[in-house]
Amino acid sequence: MTKEQPHTDALIARLDAADRLPGAGELRAYSYDLMVPAGSVVDVGCGAGRAVAELTGRGVAAVGVDADERMIAIARARWPHADFRVADACALPLPDHSTQAYRADKVFHELAEPERALAEARRVLAPGGRAVLVGQDWDTVVVDSDDPALTRTLVHARADLVTAPRAARAHRTLLLEAGFRDVTVDVRTTVLTGPAALPFLAGLAEAVCAAGAVTRERAAGWVAGQRARAAKDRLFVAVPMFVASATSRS
């Protein structure tokens, strides 16, 4: 087992869990609809490949790219009839102006230089092609709690662990500065009120503990409080997802 494998396995588990959350399928479908009509799509940061498989099922010539070789291997194993390639978001394996749509879902918060990724999007997009960016703003996770001060600390400390935690609120500016036109932004909020949210909340607390921002005792008490809320049907989590779309200039 390589050093990277446990990290990749954990990431895949989180992505799979996110794909099963209420509203996740509808959000993906909405992102696809924003690219219509598009006969070809590059899905950047495709992860385990679900979106590429779904787009292929719609009759779209979809290419999924991800910088993680193991992630691409898993995508190929899960969806053997889809097209997956190992590549960086800033160096896509496509000719100039060769695709009609570009999609990046939960990717830009991981990029230190998102403007370079959008320059690459402009390069591969055909004139009039569509770009769709989907992502959460890590500072705007809303959790109902009996300890709001600790909740704020946990949310903001988790955001501080992300490369670009507020990239989603910058989608519009990034697209405009990259030379795209007809930029629109919508917000689709995922609301969780049951036990399905507990792995997300436990993961949030664990990441913050591992970084030393909060003691394990305080975090464990907070998670226990959320479990108690779930048992009494009093849990509430809201995660706004920012969906930006734009058209490449001819």
CATH of the domain at 63: 3.40.50.150
Q: How many domains does the chain have?
A: 1
* pLDDT score of 1: 40
Rounded-to-integer distance, Cα 248 and Cα 101, Å: 9
Rounded-to-integer distance, Cα 221 and Cα 218, Å: 5
* pLDDT score of 7: 63
* pLDDT score of 63: 98
**CB atoms near residue 125 (< 10 Å):** 25
* pLDDT score of 39: 92
* pLDDT score of 18: 77
* pLDDT score of 2: 42
Which positions of the chain have pLDDT values less than 70?
Answer: 1-8, 250
* pLDDT score of 5: 56
Note the pTM of the prediction, 2 decimals: 0.91
Cβ neighbors of 132 (< 8 A, separation 6 or more) are 31, 34, 35, 101, 102, 103, 104, 243, 244, 245
The range of the structural domain enclosing residue 12 comes to 4-247
* Strand-pair partners of 141: none
* pLDDT score of 3: 46
